[in-house]
Structure 1
Amino acid sequence: MTASTIINCNEGKMPLSVITDGDPAMRNAIGKVLPAAHHRLCGWHLLRNVTSNVHNLLFTSLFGKCTFGDYDIGQFQRKWDEMVEKCGVEEHIWVKDLYDRRQMWATTHIRGNFFAGFRTTSPVEGLHANVGRFINFNNNLVEFVQHYQRCIDLMRFKEVRADFESSHGEHPLETPLRLIERSASKISTNIFFKVRTVLRKALTTRVVVLKQTSMCTIYSISKYRCSDYRWLVVVSSSMSEIKCSCLRMESNGIPCEHLLAVIAFLDMDEIPKCLVLDRWTKDAKVSREGLQNGVVDSLTACRYEALRERCRRMCKLASRSLAQFEETNSLIMSHSHKLELLDNGGVNQDENNVDECLDGDVRDPEMVRSKGFRRMLHKGVVEPSVLYTVVVVDA
């Protein structure tokens, strides 16, 4: 799939970020077609290339810490210099070229660019693996389409089930910050589990310095027994904007433990709206403008599953006695008839179809001679008046 095809599929909307395995042709295409997108190298492919090009296990281990470590620019530079000197690869050409491209792989230099928490291309590869369970090279074109449709149906079913569980399920509260955790569980999808993990980290974080200005309040945050390094959280006077120096909120879309520590310090009982992305909320599909057919079908199926679950117990209880069965059946039939009238605009569709059939001129289909008809007719196997060809057209 080319970069221009991706833009067409997104109705002209340019992607913010792109993760690839570092292929040169792909990198050049992204630079031309998606100049504003931030191009990141896949962490898994990067570590594999380091292993095959440097052939030093110590360098691979230290490089992984430099890649994913949460350092500022000064710390990253010191870590890199120590690693290169310790492994003796100062003059390695491939290592020099890799350092020149550090804006494409180092978390220190990528911080602030939104990647929704992804660091590798594993989600795409996982999608390929799911499709591979249904399709193989022995399939012809018809079998390919059939198996591919089965794969798509299964994926849509899982999405509908996840929507239903997210909308109607309740998560048990596990952290001492129960009010904040409850507010996150009410508005968030399954991203709530990541928020809960960050909430646990916030318990080991504390506010050490507070500075008040006319426009905002600045909080200095440190971890337990790690007072030598601090983060700064800036809160506007109107609480409409909250920023942290770690920029994890801008990178992952989830509040960091420093932001949540300030929220707990201020005795707030919910996460501010400025720290909640619409994409993580349960109403993301409903509030999005220009709903596509797939989204509408997903929401309809989700409501269907909710109604079926609620009716399951009612049917179990109503079937225990004849009187309860007749009463419940009468209510269901009455309400179903009412819904059908509303769906058809107040007109009974069945009666409409009957009137159309009576007004029209319905005739028998034409008799068509199939292959071997004369031979079968000569032997007396079939009668001329009962041999027809039926064509079913799937609309």
Structure 2
Amino acid sequence: MLNFVKPYEKIQNHILAKEGCNDYRTEHLEIELWSNFPIEKQAYKTYTRDLYRKFREEFELIGRYNAFQVGADIFELRPNQEFVAKYGSRNYLVQARVEEGSYLCECCKMDKDGILCCHILKVFTHIGVDVIPERYLLRRWTPNAVPSAPGTGYEQPDEMPPQSKKQIRGGT
């Protein structure tokens, strides 16, 4: 049992230290925004700093594509360079149902990674969507992902209620 508990505690301490570091960076680290688009400002305010960096890397790729409307709610994204990092040289189709706030891309990055792809983000900027719909801002990427983390509004009591202490001691 001890052979299991010691390595487990070590892993748990490593995870807690990493979460603490992420919390600190989110609360204290200021990063300059890449653009003035409202969706980038929303991502900056919503995501942890580490996730915002990933969002920003993706968002910076919007300039590598041109968007063409090819159907009522279908856009074709064509690279304006020979090769786009992570995506190659192919075209992508994005379905944009603006009234429903529903956006789907062939690359399926949202399904795989839980973050919007540059193709959907390009469509946002192309058609003037200024707010990322809530369904695409996954809670797991926000500072509120852990209910007991600092600054979430959830306060853990510092000590056990008196009635519980009494019950533990054997009193009723």
Give the TM-score normalised by structure 2: 0.69
**2-structure distance, mates of 1:218, 1:144:** 54
Corresponding position: 1:277 with 2:138: yes
Map Cα deviations across residues 169-218 of structure 1 (whole Å, 9 max, x no partner).
35423422542222111111222111110111112212123432xxxx11
Task: Quote the Cα distance in structure 2 between the aligned partners of 1:269 and 1:161.
Answer: 31
Check whether the contact 1:211–1:218 (CA below 8 A) recurs between aligned residues.
yes
Correspondent of 2:32 among 142, 150, 173? 173
Q: Hey, what's the Cα distance between the residues in 1 that align with 2:64 and 2:30? A: 23
Report the equivalent of 1:263: 124
Task: Provide the rounded CA distance (Å) in 2 between the counterparts of 1:142 and 1:234.
Answer: 54
1:277 deviation in Å? Answer: 2.2
Map of 1:208 onto structure 2: 68
After TM superposition, give the deviation of residue 274 of structure 1 in Å: 2.9
- Long gaps (5+) in structure 2: 83-88, 152-156, 163-172
Cα distance in 1 for residues equivalent to 2:66 and 2:53: 22
Paired residue total: 152
Give the distance between the partners of 2:71 and 2:7, measured in 1 at CA: 62
Corresponding letter in the other structure for 1:188: Y
Matches within 5 A, 1:126-145: none
Which residue is 1:155 aligned to?
15
Aligned equivalent of 2:74, options 206, 213, 218: 218
CA shift in 2, pair 1:239/1:205, >3 Å? farther
Share of identical aligned residues, percent?
22
* Structure 1 match to 2:166: none
Q: Which amino acid letter does the alignment assign opposite residue 175 of structure 1?
A: W
8 Å contact from structure 2 (residues 76, 92) kept in 1? yes
Structure 1 stretches of 4+ moved >4 Å: 141-148, 342-345
Paired residue secondary structure (1:153): helix
Query: What's the offset of the Cα at 1:285?
Result: 2.4
Q: Does structure 2 retain, via aligned residues, the 8 Å contact 1:170–1:185?
A: no
Kept in 2: contact 1:220–1:231 (CA 8 A): yes
Map of 1:316 onto structure 2: none
Give RMSD over aligned pairs: 3.3
- More helix as a share of residues: 1
- Flag the 1:148–1:192 CA change in 2: closer, same or farther, 3 A: same
Question: Please, which runs of 5 or more residues in structure 1 have no aligned partner?
Answer: 1-140, 287-295, 304-338, 346-395
| Alpha-carbon distance change, 173 to 272 in structure 1, aligned in 2, over 3 angstroms | farther
Which secondary structure does the structure 2 equivalent of 1:232 belong to? Answer: strand
AA in 1 matched with 2:17: F
Asked which structure has the greater CA Rg, the reply is: 1
Match of 1:194 among 45, 54, 77: 54
Amino acid in the other structure paired with 2:77: I
| Distance change in 2, residues 1:162/1:267 (3 Å) | same
TM-score (norm 1): 0.33
Deviation string, structure 1 residues 119-151 (Cα, Å, up to 9, x no partner): xxxxxxxxxxxxxxxxxxxxxx86985576355
- Tell me, in whole angstroms, the C-alpha distance in 2 between the residues paired with 1:273 and 1:145: 40
Q: Do the aligned partners of 1:253 and 1:277 also contact (CA within 8 Å) in 2?
A: yes
Distance in 1 between residues matched to 2:11 and 2:122, nearest whole Å: 43
Tell me the amino acid that sits aligned with residue 156 of structure 1. L
Contact between 2:64 and 2:81, CA under 8 Å: does it hold in 1? no
